Amino acid sequence: MSNHDKPLIAVIGATGAQGVEMVECNLSNLEQLVKAFQGAYGLFAATNFWQPEVRENPAVEVRQGQNIADVAKQVGIQHLVFSSLPDAKKISGGKYTEVAHFNTKAEIETYIKSLEIPTTVVNFGYYMTNWTGNPGQFRKRSDSDYEVDLSVPPTTVVPPIDTVGDGGHCVVHCFRKPQETLGQPYDLACGYITLGEMIDILAKVGGKKIHINVLTPEEAAIDPILYGIKTVYQCYEYIVEFGYFGGRDLQKTFDTFGSFNSFEDFLHNHNWKLE
């Protein structure tokens, strides 16, 4: 930032759409991390499980997160906002150990806490873009009818989040109100809704009928939409049994950040169509 009246915030996980200056940084290279963080007041960090090298070896994400934390401590970051996820292994009492994209972030969060870095934790809910970012999951049966697969019953409850609109607002609020948010964890979502209700909203906004096909466990294990990997299917099993956030309510989130976009708001805001 060129405006010296504003603190410098370093961002890991930016897409370039945020209007910030971008620099290349290898999360396994401590020297590059030091250079990227030097002089920053705050840091927003979101590690990426879905990179191929990380998906194949989740320990890579943990190491990257630990590197971020080590360097944040070294350079004196005054406020770290870390994008985490619920500890599915802990919440399930050890039943769901392969929800890797949840458990790796929870492990990083524990490490950050051990270093006593001033931190706010934000747990992002179920991405609304899970539906809009992959139009191929809707199979056309006729001009007015479509079909979509689910690996769990349509009664499964999830907490949707507009990651860019509302998620970005929440992160900015954390930095603007450190006296309120430092040391706090927040579960970010607009509320709770079933997958079936989300599909009904997709049909309403899209102006088409959408039929639900519930996959068997064997079908889900090889479904390309689920990446054909166990971590995604086991994640849905965990959500069915224990809830995405482990049964926690969202009142603290609403008290801090105000209202969120509903799923229908999100679809209209992005001019989503089913075609």
Which pLDDT tens digits describe the chain residue by residue (275 residues)? 334 467 899 999 864 445 555 567 889 999 999 999 999 999 999 999 888 788 889 999 999 999 999 999 999 999 999 999 999 999 999 999 999 999 999 999 999 999 999 999 999 999 999 999 887 889 999 888 999 999 899 999 999 999 999 999 999 999 999 999 999 999 999 999 999 999 999 999 999 999 999 988 777 776 655 555 678 888 999 999 999 999 999 999 999 999 999 999 999 999 998 87
Domain ranges for the chain: 1-117
Place of tokens 């899970």: 130
Q: pTM of this prediction?
A: 0.91
Helix (H) or strand (E) holding 252: helix 251-257
List, edge to edge, every strand of the sheet that includes 145-150: 139-140, 145-150, 209-214
Question: Up-side HSE of residue 59: CA atoms within 13 Å toward CB?
Answer: 1
Helix and strand tally (H, E) in the chain? 13, 12
139 φ/ψ angles, rounded to the nearest 5 degrees:
-95, 130
Single-letter residue type at 180 = E
* pLDDT score, position 13: 81
Helix (H) or strand (E) holding 16: none
Tell me the CATH architecture of domain 1-117.
3-Layer(aba) Sandwich (3.40)
8-state DSSP, 224? G
